[in-house]
Structure 1
Amino acid sequence: ASPLSESIQQTTQAEDVVIYSKSWCPYCAKTKALFDDMAQPYTAIELDQRADGDELQAALLDLTQQRTVPNVFVKGQHIGGNDDSQQAARSGKLKALLEA
């Protein structure tokens, strides 16, 4: 695995919620609002504000098969994007993962 892939895995294992995001992305904002509404702290990594953002996004694609942001991980598990996160919240899956 590349150093970036290892960094992603370390970050997503260490933090309960990690959102790979872009600061201008409306779907990312919706996902962050979802966790804010749940009073659930998260780590947001803004790819557009990092020198290695493009490389990081490529490493995420390799790991998750997902090119788009937000790219959400809960307790080290890849959830997906905004639609997936909203769906997981509605179904109770998100709460169950966070409480596990």
Structure 2
Amino acid sequence: MSAAKAKAQGIIDENAVAVFSKSYCPYCKATKALLSEMGAKPYVIELDQVDDGAAIQDALEEMTNQRSVPNIFIAKKHIGGNSDLQAKKSELPGLLKDAGAV
């Protein structure tokens, strides 16, 4: 397993809510705002601000078949991107509660 893949998996495993993001991405901002409104404190890694961001993004694509950001995980389960998260808005309180994120 590559170091980037191991790092990504570690972040997913150790956090109730993990968001792989880019600081300038409007969809990432919308995701972080929604999670914040729901009372969640996600672990956010800004892939454009870490040295191995590109490698982590490659690893996430291998793991999830999703290259775009945000790449969201709740309770170690891949949720998808911002549109997927917004579509689950009604389920989110339960998902976050079950994950121990709120």
Q: What TM-score do the two structures reach when normalised by structure 2?
A: 0.90
Partner of 1:98: 96
Bigger fraction of residues in helix = 1
Superposed CA RMSD: 1.0
Deviation at 1:9, TM superposition (A): 1.3
Identity %: 43
Q: Which runs of 5+ in 2 are unaligned?
A: none
What is the DSSP-based 3-state SS (H/G/I as helix, E as strand, rest coil) of the residue aligned with 2:73? Answer: strand
Q: Which runs of 5+ in 1 are unaligned?
A: none
Deviation at 1:8, TM superposition (A): 1.2
Partner of 1:69: 69
Query: Residue type of the partner of 2:96?
Result: L
Q: What TM-score do the two structures reach when normalised by structure 1?
A: 0.92
Partner of 2:60: 60
Q: Equivalences for 1:5-84 in 2 at 5 Å?
A: 5-84=5-84
Deviation at 1:96, TM superposition (A): 2.6
Partner of 2:3: 3
Cα deviation code 1:66-87 (max 9, x no counterpart):
0100000001111000000111
Large movers: runs of 4+ above 4 Å: none
